Amino acid sequence: MLKRSTLSLRTAALCGTLLVSGCANHLSQRSEHEERVERKLLEHTLQIDIGEPNLLELPQRRVRINEQKTFEVTEFEVTRNYDRYTPYQPWRELYEVPLGAVALVAGVGANIVNLLMLGHLPGTATKDWIDYGVAGINPFMNTQSHGRAEQNLASIDEVQRDKHTEHSSLPWSERPVEVRSGGQTFNLTTDQNGVLRLNLLDTPFAEQDLTRVTRLQINVEDEQDSVRADASLPVSTSLRGKLLEAHALIYDDLEEDGVSQWVHRVKRLSELGLEEEASELEQSLIELTHNDPELQKQFVKSLTRDAGRLVADPHAED
């Protein structure tokens, strides 16, 4: 008697387990296709172009810095295959069983009619109805439902399509540059074109005594790849001798001087061979006198007469 009870309990438990777990109704497999590109860095270098001439004879210099990389590029075509199925839900059998019975009867009838019509009925009325009916009357399987479908990744297939080498050369755009001048080190930044603008008459060099600085040491480094580059820019003896005087001509208080001293400053910078600085100072003084047309006119006239400079009259078009 005890054995019968135990057997009955085991049978009921097995049936309950089957009823709860059920069987998944498998659908057609689905595939996804995509292209994948792998880029492997083969070489990474930094290049510093200090410009010409190699000897710095003028206060201003543009140093161009480029970043060069070589990649091995591999292209793959990737196919992901997914197994799709309708998960089993026992409560759906409440309506699927009667509907399945109706569909099975309709499918059998459709097949009989199809024989009489020499196979002219569509497959949805013959095969699909029977498949739906069989799944419907099966208490351990739900009918197919694309709306409830779930999927599992079955396999991944990769096919290599191409493999080649790519080279890139990009400016060291808005990146840090270390410049050593004598015993001091300055952290500067390139512009968006990878150009470092050096001006020994401007900050931070203007505050340093450069008379004994024989060269500027330029260093750049990409810490991520541990790549660095160094360049040395010698400073000429003649330029070092001019810097102190040129700095005073440019930065000493302008408002305390008269027109003659302004003209002297511009003329003297030109005589020192610093024509770019002379033109910048000249333009600054013209803008400074913008609100005093008479003073501005006097300054422009003195520039032409005493310094021999060709200056367009700012009020010529007025």
Q: What is the pLDDT of residues 195-211, one digit of tens each?
A: 999 999 998 998 888 88
Q: Name the more confident of 314 and 129.
A: 129
Q: Name the more confident of 18 and 288.
A: 288
Lowest mean pLDDT segment, chosen from 31-35, 46-50, 97-101, 242-246: 97-101
Which pLDDT value is given to residue 118? Answer: 66
Is the model's pLDDT at 173 over the cut of 60?
Answer: yes
Confidence of residue 9 (pLDDT cuts 50, 70, 90): very low
Is the model's pLDDT at 18 over the cut of 60?
Answer: no
Alpha helices in the chain (DSSP H): 2-21, 93-116, 123-137, 237-251, 259-271, 275-288, 293-306
Which pLDDT value is given to residue 6? Answer: 46
Is the model's pLDDT at 271 over the cut of 60?
Answer: yes
What letter would DSSP give residue 59? S
What residue segments make up the domains of the chain, in order of their start? 46-75+167-235, 252-306
What letter would DSSP give residue 91? G
220-234 mean pLDDT: 93
Which pLDDT value is given to residue 233? Answer: 95
Neighbours of 267 (CB within 10 A): 19
Which pLDDT value is given to residue 191? Answer: 95
Q: Contact 14/37 with Cβ under 8 angstroms?
A: no
Ordered DSSP codes for 201-264: TSTTGGGS--TT--EEEEEEEETTTTEEEEEEEEB-HHHHHHHHHHHHHHHS-STTS-HHHHHH
For domain 46-75+167-235, the CATH architecture is: Sandwich (2.60)
Choose among 263, 273, 261, 243: nearest CA to 309: 263
Is the model's pLDDT at 126 over the cut of 50?
Answer: yes
CA–CA gap between residue 81 and residue 69 (Å, rounded): 36
Buried b (16+ CB within 10 A) or exposed e, 46-76: bebebeeeeebebbebebbbbbebebeeeeb
Residues in the chain, overall count: 318
Lowest mean pLDDT segment, chosen from 94-103, 121-130, 222-231: 121-130
Lowest mean pLDDT segment, chosen from 24-38, 276-290, 304-318: 304-318
Which pLDDT value is given to residue 129? Answer: 67
Which pLDDT value is given to residue 65? Answer: 97
Q: Name the more confident of 3 and 54.
A: 54
Q: At what angle do helices 275-288 and 259-271 cross, to 10 degrees?
A: 160
What six digits make up the tokens of 118? 């020499």
Q: Name the more confident of 76 and 317.
A: 76
What six digits make up the tokens of 87? 């998960």
Q: What is the residue-averaged pLDDT of the chain?
A: 82
Digit-coded pLDDT (tens) for 141-163: 777 777 787 888 889 999 999 99
Q: Contact 231/196 with Cβ under 8 angstroms?
A: no
- pTM to 2 decimal places: 0.65
